Amino acid sequence: MTARRASPLRFDVVTPPPADGSTRARAGRLALPHGVVETPMFMPVGTNATVKALDPDDLDEVGAQIILANTYHLYLRPGHERIRALGGLHRFMGWDHPILTDSGGFQVVSLTELRSIDDEAATFRSHLDGSLHRFTPELSIQVQEALGADVAVAFDQPVPPHASTRAEVAEALRRTESWALRSLEAHRRPDQALFGIIQGGLEADLRASATERIRALPFDGICIGGLAGDESPAQRGAVLDVVVPLLAGDPRPRYLMGLGSPADMLDAVHRGVDLFDSVLPARVARNGTLWVPGGKLNMRNAQYVDDPGPVQEGCPCRLCRRFSRAYLAHLFRAGELLAYRLATCHNLTFTLDFMGRVRQALAAGTFLDLVQDHARLPAPDAAVARHVSGGRAGTEGE
């Protein structure tokens, strides 16, 4: 592999992990063409070039520094060439801060009617109109260059670990590695970073070899894919304990795709991950579940209809500054659209504030205290987490 252009990304580890090995957690500063992202960081998901129910001012207010948009969805509708002609994704959606686009691999493989997958491409039917499409690594990169996000991701073939044999995992891994090379060859845009993806299911030896191979390639960052699905937290931790030590001396940011509950992210930060994304906080918000310290409130429960207090005392969000639990409970019962906006603002504020506390603890040297204190956090919403498996998931059609 010949050397690529100078990276449009700069990643500095501001607080490295302690030498005693008690944690691999680290704090960093990720400079991208549209701004700086402090890590560890959570990325809200804007599937259709919008984080559902929020506008860019809301995103600023909840503390979003970078968002994710879905290549598959924007390719199908409104079309990447249309977005390019309209000035690119940043201008199209009115968001002037960093954006990451995924490769489309996850949606193509898991959410569409997949016709066939071979070494050349994945052929699938659109979830919108049944039209037939053929996605190659080259097309994924071409679409992502047209969208113009700060970070693009190599096209991959994820597999659901529990529904796949070792042979299937190994075949998908071989394909993902070949597609990584083709993605690198195809990528031309000098103002866009490109991340590679480590797959390999739950098999330690496959994960290790995938890590070695992706690490050897000139990507600007490293994604860890195929997790945040149906695996247990212990299985996820075991995979991270294989992958991250092999990246210990590597200067690039590490991004675990699809994880979004605070407790899960805390554990992954502890094991050395820098970036996350998920639809989870926003999706559960739209279902009436509000995250608060120590648990969650279901606004559809009768107990809230007379409750004059805020959802969370002291929360700086648009909901808690001004409105009561009773009002939000009423909005959900009445099916009012404002409920979705207010609840989403709260859960994203909660999630991003939590990541801010993680960064502060890293800077102060008190991160392990925070880990021990994590009983105060909402438990991972297992049923919902499975439903949104992969985070990037979801045709997001409600």
Residues designated catalytic: 102, 277
Tokens of residue 152, six digits: 């693009």
Stretch that binds Zn ion, among 52-60, 102-110, 319-327, 378-386 (CB under 5 A): 319-327
C-alpha distances in angstroms, 45 versus 28, 66, 138, 193, 232?
21, 9, 24, 19, 23
Residue with Cβ nearer Zn ion (281 or 390): 281
Q: Does 206 bind Zn ion (CB under 5 A)?
A: no
Which one of residues 317, 329, 358, 361 is an interface residue with Zn ion (CB under 5 A)? 317
Tokens of residue 51, six digits: 């984080």
Q: Binding marks (x or -) toward Zn ion, 255..294, rule CB under 5 A?
A: ----------------------------------------
Residue with Cβ nearer Zn ion (119 or 313): 313
The C-alpha atoms of residue 74 and residue 88 are separated, in whole angstroms, by 12
Residue with Cβ nearer Zn ion (275 or 285): 285
Residue with Cβ nearer Zn ion (319 or 393): 319
What burial class does residue 209 get, using C-beta atoms within 10 Å of its C-beta: 0-12 exposed, 13-18 middle, 19+ buried?
Answer: middle
CA angle 127, 117, 278 (to 5 degrees): 55
Q: Does 320 bind Zn ion (CB under 5 A)?
A: yes
Stretch that binds Zn ion, among 7-15, 196-204, 272-280, 320-328 (CB under 5 A): 320-328
Stretch that binds Zn ion, among 22-30, 182-190, 216-224, 306-314 (CB under 5 A): 306-314
Q: Binding marks (x or -) toward Zn ion, 346..385, rule CB under 5 A?
A: x---------------------------------------
C-alpha distances in angstroms, 215 versus 177, 183, 240, 243, 254?
11, 15, 15, 10, 11
- Strand-pairing partners, residue 114, are 124
Residue with Cβ nearer Zn ion (83 or 342): 342
Q: Does 299 bind Zn ion (CB under 5 A)?
A: no
Stretch that binds Zn ion, among 104-112, 163-171, 274-282, 340-348 (CB under 5 A): 340-348
The C-alpha atoms of residue 239 and residue 203 are separated, in whole angstroms, by 8
Q: Does 54 bind Zn ion (CB under 5 A)?
A: no
Residue with Cβ nearer Zn ion (177 or 381): 381
Which one of residues 243, 299, 315, 343 is an interface residue with Zn ion (CB under 5 A)? 315
Shortest distance (Å) from residue 158 CB to Zn ion? 34
Q: Got the DSSP string for 221-263?
A: EEEE-S-SSSS-HHHHHHHHHHHHHHTTT--S-EEETT---HH
What burial class does residue 309 get, using C-beta atoms within 10 Å of its C-beta: 0-12 exposed, 13-18 middle, 19+ buried?
Answer: exposed
Helices then strands (H, E): number in the chain?
Answer: 16, 16
Q: Which residues in this chain contact Zn ion in the complex, by CB under 5 A? A: 312, 315, 317, 319-320, 346
